[in-house]
Chain A
Amino acid sequence: MDTNSDAVGRRTFLAQAGAGMAVLLTGGIGVSGCASARSISHIQGGMAGANHQSGHRLRAISELVRLPVSEKLTTNVLIAGGGISGLSARRWLQRQGISDTLLAEMDGQTGGNAAYGQNSVSAYPYGAHYLPIPDLRNQELLDFLTESRIITGSDAQGLPIYDDYFLCHDPEERLFINGFWQEGLVPEAGVPESDRDQIRRFFQLIDRFKTARGSDNLDAFTIPLDRSSTDETFRQLDRVSFASYLDTAGFTSPYLRWYLTYCCRDDYGATLETTSAWAGIHYFASRKGQAANANASSVLTWPQGNGFLADQLRAGAASPIRRNLLVYEVRLNDTGVTVVAFDATTNRNVVIDANKVILATPHFITKHIVQKIAPERSAWTGFRYAPWVVANLTLNGLPQGRGMPLCWDNVLYGASSVGYITANHQDLRDGPRKVITYYKPLTDTEPDAARRQAYGTTYEQWLTQIMDELETAHPGLTPYVSEADIWVWGHGMMAPSPGFVWGNERRQAAQPIANRVFFAHSDLSGVSIFEEAFYQGIRAAREVAEAV
């Protein structure tokens, strides 16, 4: 049996050859045969998008407060934000016996950056889509994975066995470079020897960082990053940009720099210049997972991406969740906190009396919520968020060029996107229909300008840009696209700029207020990954439990 993609590839070739012939035939005969621009009008879909409308209401709190109050609620612990960190906090509290909690999520679904959609072909992520095999010392995470039956047991050495359906299937990654799909993302095809040398040297360096320990005997780089060594030798790396670190270390190869830029954009929505060297190295050097049936570079993934994990986390507790409820103000009262929220379904305010509150919301929102009790937060400047565009394209087939067949992660060298993943890669059915999830961090301009521009870009404009780029690697793809959902994340994720990870703002942002208002969110790590969000949720929940 031929691979489908291969057959499609040849078919398109034929189609093009045929079209070429037709032009030749008619062109000379005087019938006008001008090449028409690609048409995208057959593509169904539109802009989806994290409820940025309700998010934007925070800017106009003065209007919200004027709305009538329709409901008064009381709870022990109110959690604002149903992303990974909020769900993780809720689950942890339940495990500590604190089950009288209420989670308020402004969106129609929980998951936050791990939200997902679904159509007749596959489920697909709108944001986060994978989790690397965790370090054996990350016990809380291993417990969660075991509880969710993602880890199914352990072998004789005690190494966890992961469910084969969830470990990313082979073939995993490919890169379109010099007109060819090579295996793996580190440039190889057509790369000169001197560049390969530098690439090798870089990974040798990373290997040393992986095993490096500080004077406190803690790992130099680990996840959660709060457990990394405090040794200055490593922490000082946070004060310089990844770019200047690479310059100093003599890493000049354009191929290596492209690859590392790609990594920074992919993981942080940032560039070499705007990423701290510590964070840049952390991404590589913290991956130390072990498993009976996988290795440190293996990842877990699902068609719905980390939405699968979000659903598992949510199932870890039974307490109520209110969707479409936007928390916009937290005040301290005599004994606890008064929380004011806006119910988007009724257009009314809801007032919640709680003993404690956990704000599992990103800093750019949190600062508005705590404006009255912690106004200094609005002056902080270290929290920078790049906007992202995520497009889910449903395809009836995928014409493709020479080299490696379709993989889970597919990246185009030199492109403005960070490539696409195949959402139904883990689906074992073999068929031509696919959903691919295309990711593009908008890193060309300053975040604010990029955000304004992103909000002003129409569906057709996005789609044209995206198709133009994909067509370079998949000529003739456009007619195969039947649906396209485009999602703009105004504040995609926080970028760890130089100085942020080991700076003051991050430390202060996690400090509870009056032992009643607590903070959880991956922003408090500075590195936006599942593990950190999961950890921040637990950390905040522990503080709450201790404060009771």
Chain B
Amino acid sequence: MMTMLRRPLFWLILLLAGIFAWLPVRGNNVALREDLILVAVAIILTSNLNLMIGYTGYVNFGHIVFYGLGGYLGLYLATVRGWHLVISALVAGVLVSLVALLFGLGILRLRGAYFALATIGVLVAVQAFVANFEPWGRSTGMYVSFDSYAPLGGPRHALWTTYFLVIGVMALSLLLSLAIKSSKFGLGLFAIREDEDAAIVLGVNATVYKAIIYSVSAFLPAVAGALMFFKNGMIDPSIAFEYMLSLEGIVMLMLGGSGTVAGAALGAGLYERLRSYLLTSPRLSEFHLVIAGGLLLLVIRLAPGGLIGWLYRLIPHSREVVE
């Protein structure tokens, strides 16, 4: 713990969260808050995805499943069961992590590309399940009733509360990535990424490590999903499990630099701003996927280390600060 305090990135993360929290409060800027919350969600998804792709070397195409399932569970607990939002979100996070652990013990027996394909399957299968699940409203989904906001001091106040909570989850995601990166657990994951068989011969229990990280990478996205869909007031299978969002997470990660904490945040932030700009621009909105795909192709071809990798090459010592 003490060593964490000596790492510049630790303080930078707290500073980032502080700025996110402070900016929209100054002048009660609701529009800015709505922009920033999307950036925060992108950072949450990307940095947790990084635990799989960047740290462990396993591509997860269906990472959004955790976010969507968390949203469903959270909404269900908060509205149908009437639990407090924070409790609902945490319970949703725990349950989704457990589901991920179960899935993980199955599909993580698959290596490399096979695992990646199975994750597409997980996404499709979970979506099919939810779309047929009566208690969650099948394909029409669920709505948040107006009185669910009462415990949080009414809708207006509730929106601010969820915003701060999401910023908190964002900070936790980055801190989690940072903590894992310098831990023995993280070292085991990196060894698996480099050469799984060699790692096993060196004593890394790859089966357990992979299942744990898959489950861990589900937790905060699920919490974020519960908060976000509560804030939005509704959920249905197509918005909860938006395949494209899952895929764009990979673009964000590769853009920033996979395997690095700062890269995940940087890529998510930049890409999310670009995406919002494209989506609101009348001429470019239809082409945002084209641009995303082109960007990904360029990055992996020209700078497979992403922006951070490029920074490392430019200033080798930056490695020690920007992890």
Q: Is chain B found bound to chain A in the same assembly?
A: no
Report which A residues bind B (CB closer than 8 A).
none
